Structure 1
Amino acid sequence: MSNIKLIIEERAANIGKFMVGRLLPFRQKRMVGPFIYIDHMGPVKLNERENFDVLAHPHIGLSTLTFLFEGSIMHRDTLGNAVEIKPGAVNWMTAGKGIVHSERTPDYLRDSPLFMHGLQIWVALPKEFELMDPQFSHIEESDIPSWMEGDLQFKLVAGEAFGRKSPVPVFSKLFMLEIKSKTRQTVNIGDELFGESGLYILDGAIESGGNVYEPKQLLVAKDSTLCEFTIQENSTIYIFGGEPFAEERFIDWNFVSSSKERIEEAKEKWKNQSFPKIEGEEDEYIPYPTYNKK
């Protein structure tokens, strides 16, 4: 990865129950391809008196991608879905014109210590899909393409790459790859990718151009051609990106749109509690935080 343009360090952000490491958006790089928001959750241990409870909150103009390494989250939304997210599976919720969801510790785990670790990602929608009806998909780990190339273990979490396609129903040209290695070796991505690309180091390290890059760093490439780099032993990295949009995207709290007016409409709608409600959670929700803009 000799063409590194920008190095983004994780920045601490408070999401209520615990701190996360925020990667995107960043003041010098708001998006990488259509990826507009990435939080690294944990690793954190919750004791038997603590739970991961993110109350009902709205989204517009984006798809959420939840990918856990440890722990468990019960997802509920206004489409009537109630699905437990476990490590390795992909939870993909497309907000479109508007959806409300909550994320909580499952009932059967609420009195037990729990480790939480994962990625929370937002992918902005193309302009022509910003007002689509909301959708939800849950893809089990066994259905996500995975393969070996020598000692390298690949997994295509979402999108298309290396002649493969993930079953996650994306709405733009993008990719999200997981690469693991137990040994030190050279990785040659070549020209398999497209658009913009970033490389996030979860564990271990990579070497490129005489430099060593370690966990909690997001390396943004000058172009999608990542070329060659050395991955150290016992490393896990994620490469993601895709075709950028022609139009700017605006972000305010949980709302993403190419239209500032549409965001203002969504804010007022949430303040007035005019969004649909999750059955059984009608009175529990996160108010719009007046002074908390991302």
Structure 2
Amino acid sequence: MSNIELIIEEKAADIGNFLVGRLLPFRGKRAVGPFVFIDHMGPAKLAEHQNLDVPPHPHIGLSTLTYLFEGSIFHRDSLGSAMEIQPGAVNWMTAGKGVVHSERTPEYLRTSDTSLHGFQIWVGLPKELEQMEPEFHHTEASAIPAWEENNVQYKLIAGEAFGKKSPVPVYSKLFFIEIKNKEKTKINIGEHLFGEVAMYVLEGTVNLEGNEFGSKQLLVAKNATLCEFEMNENATVYLFGGEPFPEERYIFWNFVNSDRDVIEQAKLDWHDQNLSAFPKVAGDEDEYVALPKAILKHR
């Protein structure tokens, strides 16, 4: 019996002046464990006039995780954080009751040809933490647990698995794992996983239940504890998953919550530029992303 529940194809989405491949949410699968949103950015070559510029925009009820393979993004937020993220490091911002942030090409790279490639991820918060105070944490690449076993390289980017724990301060039971190999290898790691799991093949191909899969697909399994596959030569895969929440999570634009009324209030607060709910981003105060008119209810 097949353990593949769903195969999700990347769908192009516009995040301002940059196209990404959207993997979650999907009409047939709104979340995998606590992961409610996954964008695959790039790979893209950016000339000077193609700098990444996502102006200040709000979030509630989630944590954002940025993980790059190539390039650099400068993050600023309404907490006063100002941090450049480079390949292998993790930016983890927890919105809680409300935060605002911007993402741009760093100033020193804006007149150069650059590249950009990575993941932008949203992780839902447990119901009791959806209104927590916002936080920001940066974890350097050198602090991410990495090890080799049977000539296969592993990284535990976030969460817990394999008896290890990433220093990224997550708030639910989850895992985000990188696996790389050079030679054709069978992987059987179900005993280390739990809850739900999805696989993204970044490079190379994998064989799963008699079929070969490559990039631009998210393979969602029925049971994480049956996670077994074969990696062909020079492959890189990412596994996302964990325990799903007992309550449904609603997503409207940049807002995630288990309570629709909280989302409706966030819409109004952002539309009205209520600074007590959504403060300005220091160093990036001159513009913001307006609330799409289509999602604002009549008062």
d(CA) in 2 for partners of 1:227, 1:90: 25
- What's 1:260 paired with? 260
1:229 aligns with 229
Asked whether the 8 Å contact 2:76–2:284 carries over to 1, the reply is no
Q: Superposition pairs for residues 48-59 of structure 1, below 5 Å? A: 48-59=48-59
Letter of the 1:136 partner, please give it. F
- The one-letter amino acid of 2:287's match is E
Q: Give, in whole Å, the separation in 1 of the partners of 2:52 and 2:11.
A: 21
SS at match of 2:225: coil
Q: CA deviation at 1:46?
A: 0.8
Separation (CA, whole Å) in 2 of partners of 1:138 and 1:227: 30
Offset from partner CA, 1:224-283 (integer Å, 9 cap, x none) = 123321101111100111000110100000000000000000000000111100123223
Residue 18 of structure 1: how far off its partner (Å): 2.2
| Residue 288 of structure 1 pairs with residue 282 of structure 2 | no
TM-score by length of 1: 0.97
The Cα of 1:292 is off from its aligned counterpart by: 7.0
Where in structure 2 are the equivalents of 1:1-294 lying within 5 Å? 2-274=2-274, 275-291=278-294
The one-letter amino acid paired with 1:72 is S
Give 2:280's aligned amino acid: K
Given that 2:190 and 2:224 are in contact with CA atoms closer than 8 Å, whether structure 1 keeps it comes out as: no
CA distance in 1, matches of 2:125, 2:7: 25
Amino acid of the residue matched to residue 65 of structure 2?
A: L
Contact 1:250 1:259 in 2 (8 A): yes
Amino acid at match of 2:289: I
Identity %: 65
TM-score, scaled relative to structure 2: 0.96
Between 92-101 and 184-193, the greater mean CA deviation after superposition: 184-193
Quick one: distance in 2 between partners of 1:202 and 1:4? 18
Structure 1: which 5+ residue stretches go unaligned? none
AA matched with 2:85: I
- Give the secondary-structure state (helix, strand or coil) at the position aligned to 2:189: strand
Letter in 1 for 2:230: T
* 1:11–1:22 Cα contact (<8 Å) kept: yes
Q: 2:191, 2:293 → 1: CA distance?
A: 44
Deviation string for 1:12-38 (max 9, x for gaps)? 111121211100000000000000000
Pick closer, same or farther for the CA change 1:189–1:292 going to 2, 3 Å. farther
> Where does the alignment leave 5 or more consecutive residues of structure 2 unmatched?
none
